[in-house]
Amino acid sequence: MALVNRLKVLFGKTNQVSADFIYWNIGEYRSHIREYTRSELEKILRYHSLTAVNSTMINIMIDSAGSGTFFKKIIVKTYKQVSGHVPNFRDTILICGKKPKEWRPTDNSIETFKRYYSHIEKYNLDNLPDEVLLNEILKGDGKKE
């Protein structure tokens, strides 16, 4: 399974929980640090009605590897050659979008979360109404009702 997950990442797919779940989450998210794919980041920008979304894959982190042993230099050079031909192998996603003239912030209510993350119902094991569930989540964050 670990090999399958690594291959997914190598080809621009994710091996993590849905980006929609993390992005629209209400309350504290407690899990691994999440590295997003290009398509996930583009989708997040579209959620906010940004236009002229543009993204590119670049190498930044590999340059911080610096010099080292002969073996390390060979690996870095090989990585740079491969990633020069296969952009998804690059280590950093650079993405931007432009706010349209009539832009408004996106509502981050539980209704919006449910619209973008359809699996929320299976996490509400007590079948609580949305308002009660939201209050329970906010209490867990240490926020006042």
| 40, 16 contact by CB (below 8 A) | no
Q: Residue 84: is it exposed, middle or buried by C-beta count within 10 angstroms (0-12/13-18/19+)?
A: exposed
Residue 131 lies in a domain: no
The rounded distance, in Å, linking the Cα atoms of 14 and 38 is 10
State the distance between the two ends of the chain, measured CA to CA, in whole angstroms: 43
Residue 139 lies in a domain: no
Residue 95 lies in a domain: yes
Residue 132 lies in a domain: no
For residue range 88-108, list pLDDT tens digits in order.
Answer: 888 888 999 999 888 888 777
Residue 9 lies in a domain: yes
The torsion defined by the Cα of 86, 76, 36 and 92, in degrees rounded to 10, comes to -80
| 47, 89 contact by CB (below 8 A) | no
pLDDT of 142 reads 47
Question: Is this structure's pTM higher than 0.75?
Answer: no
Closest CA to 32 of 60, 5, 63: 5
Residue 38 lies in a domain: yes
Residue 137 lies in a domain: no
* Domain around 44: 2-105
Please compute the mean of the pLDDT values over residues 104-121 and round it to a whole number: 73
Residue 116 lies in a domain: no
Number of domains the chain is built from: 1
9 half-sphere exposure, CB direction, 13 A CA radius: 13
